[in-house]
Structure 1
Amino acid sequence: MTSWYRHAVVYQADVRMFHDSDGDGWGDVRGLTRRLDYLRGLGATAVWLLPFYASPFRDGGYDVADHLAVDPRLGDLADVARMLEAADDLGLHVLLDLVCQHTSDQHRWFQEARSSRKSPYRDYYVWSDEPVETGVEPMFPDVEDGVWTWDEEAQQFYRHSFYSFEPDLALDNPRVRDELWRIMTFWLRMGVSGFRVDAVPHMVERARAADPSDGGQWLVREMRQVADRHGRDAVLLGEVDVEPQEYADYFGTRDTGDGDGMTMLLDFYLNNHLFLALARDDARPLVDALHRHPQPPRHGAYAQWLRNHDELDLEQLTDVERDDVLKAFARTEREQAYGRGIRRRLAPMLDGDVRRIALAHAVLFSLPGPPVLRYGDEIGMGDDLSLPEREAVRTPMQWTDGPNAGFSTAPADRLVAPVISEGPFGHRRVNAYEQMVQPDSLLTKVGQMIRARLGLRETGTVTPEPVDVRLASGGSAHPVLALRYAHEGSWVLMLANLADEDLEVALGVDTADAPFVDVLADQPYGQVGGATATVDGQRRPVARLAAHGYRWLRPRDRHGVCEAT
């Protein structure tokens, strides 16, 4: 039986920014609950919620002050219980962010730890009398000079891989790991379907300090064991930005082969090469990346996305490749972040061109593994570069063209973040309600892609095979991504034209399967298979693709109807 997550479509929502139910200017759990029907109507089958725990919110909630409490501005545990019940009624799985590499410096553990060297919480964190070299570099070099900060009350330095107000937890301490298992168990018992696990390589680094065997991956296996106690389908979705050859370590397949580590990995490698392909109008970087991609374990998967709540980190590219992406999408330093990435939303990167934005989503849904949608990207929301760092992409959801974009009834100066109200991405031009009734809107197109994808059993079951495509007139068709998924006698061919020009391409598939029909297309094209072209002595069916167009094709069966999905 195939696990639910292999066929999932995940919607990433920030509770603070989604919908305010009580008019205090902050989105909240009750507001999210009221909007769950929107997610289900879009076609999402799971929702990943950014941290809503008690927090000073200096880092979007990733500075957790209490893992077992809801921030009072966002609701309480009863609200979460009701939200989980509503999600279950709609068939939506809920994933929470598990942030256990660090805490806020306002967390009770840290406050007690700094009070005395004899505190039972002192060794919950990493301390030193002098800064020492650990090989850990600051994640935000534009903001933090190093990873050690002096604490006057503690009279020692504490280590922080991220911000100085986020001290690293000492996961080499078994008592800290017991706290982690307690947190996981609490939320799994509440009814969540799993976790997106933050900063996994940093957690493993601390595990190595306790026991260097298997590089510290024993910690990941222990996390998996805790999750499995609550059902084999409880998910651990790991944030693991490493080289592809290291993926097996985090899946737990290096020795066992079957996988006893993370259930899914966020696929930074393909994400980087997707944007390189978009920057160059050339599908080859993405195809080459797929060829180098390790196979996930039998019950594992990669999760794919376009943009998320952080910067678009481009560290998996070479310097030349990174420069190409920056030249295409973030020419100025104001648009860049930390010397390695881009702090822009998808729509502004693609100049607000609905064709290009839809094409990028079509590519996303063509890739192997569950797609993850960032809230607001389905309507083409913009960014606010006047906000610092990653806050530029963290603005309220734009529901309507009314006051505060329908996000909140509070005065504008009380909002958790400013609504984007001016320019081409302002809420009067870009909002969900208006796009719901427009047959050619981005929201409509993305919804059609989601529902079509959910009807394709092959995409969550097997790895695609890149298909050779040539121009019908001769020559290579480098701008066209062509991926074929085949499973148990049925198959689907997914085409995407990255170029801003119409193309006719000859497909490297068996003409015996022709004619083909569209399961999904950016516009009406008609069936494929009537016209052919001869390439390298072979007769190939010809397909037309509009500029930035996409088509998902199936062969007709012998009765003249499309194969059942």
Structure 2
Amino acid sequence: MTSTSTSRTQTAERPWFADAVIYQVDPNLFADSDGDGHGDLRGLTARLEHVRDLGATCVWILPFYGTPYRDGGYDVSDHRTVDPLFGTMEDLDRLVARAHELGLHVMTELVVQHTSDQHRWFRQARRDPGSPYRDYYVWADHPEETDVEPIFPGVEDSVWAWDQAAGRYYRHLFYSHEPDLDLSRDVVREEIAEVADLWLDHGVDGFRVDAVPSIIERTRAADPTDHGLWWLDELRDHVESRHPEIVLMGEVDEQPEEYVGYFGGNHRLNLILNFWINNHVFLALARGEAGPIVDALEHQPDPPPGARYANWLRNHDELDLERLTDAERAEVFAAFAPEPEMQLYGRGIRRRLSPMLGGDDRWEALAHAVMLSLPGVPVLRYGDEVGQGEDLSRPERTAVRTPMQWTGGRNAGFSESVDGLAAPLVTAGIFDYRRRNVADQERDPASLLHRIRAMVQARRSLPETTGRTCRPLDVGASSVLALHHGADGGPGVVLLANLSAEPAVAELSAALPGEEVLADEVSRELAADGDRLPVAGHGYRWLRVRS
């Protein structure tokens, strides 16, 4: 059984994702339907109304394919199946059909930089030098000098691992149990195209492409044309030849000038996850000043028509701060991860948003107001809408991967299991699931959940905010981020966000009279004095303006 949807409609001028709000879900940790302690696709299906009611229009599901699950499902052992941990192919079909009924698009993962060492391709490759699968991977008789370095320094010391059965070394940029695929081989790229076709036939609306620069490193080795970026042309042409409305969202943690090549002329990636602006948002939050965001916006290239950046606050990995200078990174560490156990790989923070911001709902709402003010497509992380915490006793990036907190009851409403859960519940201090959960916040109109829901829905009511670019305004207050969305000199929307805990006054030109669309509860009570508009500490105001 496959699923199709009338929601798959877009035009070159206005693709569906231009107006999207994406909600990222870990299927192992969102909702358990069968009481085995692990989240699954049926559980996610039953909770899709929550995603819809939040104002999201697309659900991005982390890997649910065949896996030993040693790396959160990114260690894929079978690209063409739903792992029994998560359900069946029929469960996926029902999920996609229900999502489409609710007006939600569905995005899944294309994990093709590496496989699990339990994948049948690798098992056959290592035991038989004559196997056609031997060429699917990157081998060497001796560890070769290379410019690539381990993705997880301190955990993996080398990108080469010895395989006794093969009698050779294989390369792995990620964990040693995740051998790199050799995408310089035509046959490997053909396999990837067939994998994409399978999931497209089951109705998915797009892919988040994992580790794109690492893939391009291999395609560049095969053919340096366009620095190896030709593979993105090949992939985009393939998926669009079957489903013209499909979206490719790429994980591209590079300097901003590199984004141009990954977009191409909007013939490569439709969406780029914007690590550059993400890093500078946290630098701005640490300083309580808007300058880092304004500077970042001015230094990043505009996406081509029909393409967008994707912006987020936190995701399922560490907060990777490689786009900052050493001094800037030290500032963010000092503000949000002062203890060594809070830091990871020498470059990032292994904390969730709410603990980083001290569990302060006003600060968390302000951070979301900033993210939702940026040009591009916003991405929300499951649990951030209620301010979930972390578990620093868990290793590496798993500290931020804890069950969704639905209620204050048994197992946080995540599961009926009596034999343990996929991950421990957060039970510490103000982040205890009995103090922070969806059910309680649904009943409280002043809760973080209601604030974020109001922001998301207000943004969706402002079509000006879904463009490719915006214009920063100087409002005479260094702590206030002021962004104008709309044609220069014409009507549009001005979004104000005060990154400081201290109140500030935004000086708006008398030519910008505005109708308030949204404001935090404290700022709303502060009266304007002519063109001087007060914004509370960690407050925000969104205005519709005539000019």
Q: TM-score, normalised by structure 1?
A: 0.93
Instruction: Give the corresponding residue for 1:546.
Output: 536
Q: 5 Å matches for 1:532-543?
A: 532=530, 541-543=531-533
CA distance, structure 1, for counterparts of residue 438 and residue 232 of structure 2? 39
How far residue 524 of structure 1 moved from its aligned partner, in angstroms, is 6.0
Instruction: Give the corresponding residue for 2:95.
Output: 83
Cα contact 1:194–1:227 (8 A) shared by 2: no
Instruction: Give the corresponding residue for 2:216.
Output: 204
The question of 1:344 aligning with 2:351 is answered yes
Cα contact 2:65–2:82 (8 A) shared by 1: yes
Q: 5 Å matches for 1:239-250?
A: 239-250=251-262
CA distance, structure 1, for counterparts of residue 522 and residue 320 of structure 2? 36
The question of 1:398 aligning with 2:405 is answered yes
Q: TM-score, normalised by structure 2?
A: 0.96
Structure 1 unaligned regions, length at least 5: 253-257, 471-476, 533-540, 558-565
Cα contact 2:302–2:468 (8 A) shared by 1: no
Match of 1:298, SS state, is coil
Structure 2 unaligned regions, length at least 5: 1-12
How far residue 441 of structure 1 moved from its aligned partner, in angstroms, is 0.4
CA distance, structure 1, for counterparts of residue 410 and residue 86 of structure 2? 21
Describe the shift of the 1:495–1:320 C-alpha distance in structure 2 as closer, same or farther (beyond 3 A).
same
Match of 1:206, SS state, is helix
* Amino acid in the other structure paired with 2:463: R
Cα contact 1:482–1:493 (8 A) shared by 2: yes
Instruction: Give the corresponding residue for 1:520.
Output: 518
How far residue 503 of structure 1 moved from its aligned partner, in angstroms, is 1.6
How far residue 437 of structure 1 moved from its aligned partner, in angstroms, is 1.4
How far residue 463 of structure 1 moved from its aligned partner, in angstroms, is 1.1
Of 430, 434, 454, the match for 1:428? 434
CA distance, structure 1, for counterparts of residue 38 and residue 542 of structure 2? 41
Instruction: Give the corresponding residue for 1:56.
Output: 68
CA distance, structure 2, for counterparts of residue 121 and residue 418 of structure 1? 39
Cα contact 1:498–1:548 (8 A) shared by 2: yes
Match of 1:554, SS state, is strand
Of 237, 240, 249, the match for 2:249? 237
CA distance, structure 2, for counterparts of residue 86 and residue 137 of structure 1? 42
Cα contact 1:517–1:526 (8 A) shared by 2: no
Deviates more, 1:185-194 or 1:358-367: 185-194
CA distance, structure 1, for counterparts of residue 412 and residue 82 of structure 2? 25
Match of 1:63, SS state, is coil
Describe the shift of the 1:288–1:59 C-alpha distance in structure 2 as closer, same or farther (beyond 3 A).
same
CA distance, structure 2, for counterparts of residue 180 and residue 344 of structure 1? 33
Runs of 4+ in structure 1 over 3 Å off: 524-530
Cα contact 2:289–2:500 (8 A) shared by 1: yes
Deviates more, 1:25-34 or 1:481-490: 481-490
Instruction: Give the corresponding residue for 2:278.
Output: 271
Deviates more, 1:488-497 or 1:100-109: 488-497
Cα contact 1:517–1:528 (8 A) shared by 2: no
Instruction: Give the corresponding residue for 1:155.
Output: 167
Cα contact 1:529–1:542 (8 A) shared by 2: no
CA distance, structure 1, for counterparts of residue 390 and residue 38 of structure 2? 19
Cα deviations by residue, 1:184-220 (Å, 9 ceiling, x for unpaired)? 1111111101100000000000001111111100111
Instruction: Give the corresponding residue for 2:483.
Output: 483
Instruction: Give the corresponding residue for 1:499.
Output: 500
Instruction: Give the corresponding residue for 1:474.
Output: none
Describe the shift of the 1:23–1:529 C-alpha distance in structure 2 as closer, same or farther (beyond 3 A).
closer
Indicate the RMSD between aligned Cα atoms, in angstroms: 1.4
Instruction: Give the corresponding residue for 1:441.
Output: 447
Instruction: Give the corresponding residue for 2:36.
Output: 24
Of 39, 46, 50, the match for 2:51? 39
* Amino acid in the other structure paired with 1:500: A
Cα deviations by residue, 1:466-512 (Å, 9 ceiling, x for unpaired)? 01111xxxxxx1111000011494301000001111122212x3x13
Describe the shift of the 1:442–1:276 C-alpha distance in structure 2 as closer, same or farther (beyond 3 A).
same
CA distance, structure 1, for counterparts of residue 307 and residue 370 of structure 2? 21
Match of 1:339, SS state, is coil
Cα contact 1:528–1:542 (8 A) shared by 2: no
* Amino acid in the other structure paired with 2:163: D
CA distance, structure 1, for counterparts of residue 58 and residue 77 of structure 2? 26
* Amino acid in the other structure paired with 1:87: A
Cα contact 2:63–2:73 (8 A) shared by 1: yes
